[in-house]
Structure 1
Amino acid sequence: MPPRKKTAAPGWQVVPGAQAVMDKAVPLAMRARESREYAPVAQVVLEAVLLFADPQGRPDLRRSGHAAKSWMSDLLDEAGFKAPPMSPKDVREHVANGRKSFAQSIREAFSPVRVSYISSLDDSPEELATRFPGLSSAAEVFEYYKIIPKAQREVRIDRYNRRTSLQRLGALLSDDEPTIAPADGPDVIHALHRLATALTPALFDGADAKGKDQLRQEISATRAALLALEQALS
């Protein structure tokens, strides 16, 4: 018996309202190519993904489903990021690079729009109940979609700041008697906090009794030093 052919997923065009949102998005995307103002496009992208459902019937806010992906792909085509048929290789590569860059700019603009929308659900219980059945708060929506309640740019800045703090701490520890400038004090505390909260007992399972005793002494001395700092800041 010959293998059964897979049935193609229905296109986004069958979703009520999706074409009207596309008609709104195309001129905004074409304008964004020149102005580099991506927020208006991102706002309309949100309108689109609220129309497309994930497997549980909730809005496809991660844009991972076929309808959301193909809608975005068609928007990029309509905005001019599609090489004419039989184009030379260099033309195809140029268009592909522009398409990739534009899509990334839309993703970055969409991130804060999505975060803002989800955060607003606590003030819109009717919207929350209608679109996200079974979820009772913005926090649960963030958790359901595995979305960090920060925009991509904020996440990148946080990661950069963490790396910078740890690099400064490493530079200080390279000295036998480190001298901390007042301006570096907060960064050192932030770095210590991140490192301390990342430690678990399992990390020291291989230490012998003498090593563990030394570690306990250092932890005790560290705790005393930090307690003195806490009291001084009170």
Structure 2
Amino acid sequence: MNTQQVVLVTGALSGIGRAAALAFARSNAHVVISGRRADEGRAFAESLRALGAKAEFIEADVRIEDEVQALVERTIARFGRLDVAVNAAGTEGESGPVVEQTTARYTAVFDANVLGTLLAMKHELRAMSAQGSGSIVNVSSTMGSRGAAGAALYVASKHAVEGLTKSAALEAAALGVRVNAVAPGPVQTPMLDRLTQTSERKAAFLDTVPLKRAGTPDEIAEAIVYVASAGFMTGEVLRVNGGRTAS
């Protein structure tokens, strides 16, 4: 990666987003982190600065367009440009069969995962198109290409993220901007614990992974950094899941 690129990470206060922000900071990038918990965000920005990075926290809710627009504008005002955007904000929602789903549950998942990704890309693409370059990496999931009983809303939202990624890539290619996604399998984060609920269910789930373990946030962050800098890649989804989709 070129030195001192400007990187924006949404959903940066936990899990994969946090690991990605750390990875870019260690790669000598200027990093803007975003999330909804201000105290935690400011503390994380301070820890990134302790690594030698120039880092700023900007509070924003990706479901609210005015806040997303301000996030991108403030990033450019601070650092002058936007080279890489990692859209990691999202939620798993409430598990349950389709017949038990409600409009409220749908809205909670799709506003965070789909609308949030759409709004982030809208304003990131405007900024990157104006400068004639840029790379966007959306965070999808193994569930973005298959089904899962009891997780229909989450699965559908990640299918939508991958569709948005491919469509935006086709629109942005002529403008010098690349758009890709990284689709993790099970990763050792609080979300995995919430989804599996018990240690027995978690063990059974991980037994379906050929590598017989969960990935780590750092391993997914490595993939995100790679995709962000892969200059001839656009409209692709890199699946990083321990072999779970190999068969």
Assess same fold via TM > 0.5. no
Which structure has more strand as a fraction of its residues?
A: 2
TM-score range, shorter chain: under 0.3
Higher RCO (CA-CA < 8 Å; seq separation 6+): 2
User: What TM-score comes out, normalization by structure 2 length?
Assistant: 0.23
